[in-house]
Amino acid sequence: MSKSIHSPEHAKLRELLIAARKSAGLTQQDVADRLKRPQSFVAKYEGGERRLDVVEFLEIAGALGTDPVKVVRALSRAAGARG
């Protein structure tokens, strides 16, 4: 697996996180406020300029009010469909 932020898997993760944010009716600023981070932090991971580690991913899922396991399952299904 590539460590690139431009991999199909990373693009899918970004897509899932953006969809969860929008589904929750949140702006990037709302998420940033919940994370106590600048809005640019959210913009960078959503835009593919920044990778997330697992701890950050869990914090973001919590801020979005989404189940991180569901996000990982969806990501796994998408990756399996390509592999």
User: How do residues 31-67 score in pLDDT, each as one tens digit?
Assistant: 999 999 999 999 999 999 999 999 999 999 999 999 9
Q: CA 27 to CA 74: how far, in whole Å?
A: 22
The answer as to whether 2 is a domain residue is no
The answer as to whether 46 is a domain residue is yes
Report how many domains make up the chain.
Answer: 1
Q: CA 7 to CA 9: how far, in whole Å?
A: 5
The answer as to whether 19 is a domain residue is yes
The answer as to whether 42 is a domain residue is yes
Q: Is 83 exposed, middle or buried (0-12, 13-18, 19+ CB in 10 A)?
A: exposed
Residue, of 22 and 8, whose pLDDT is higher: 22
Output the domain CATH number for residue 66.
Answer: 1.10.260.40
User: What domain range includes position 73?
Assistant: 8-82
To the question of pTM greater than 0.85 for the whole model, the response is yes
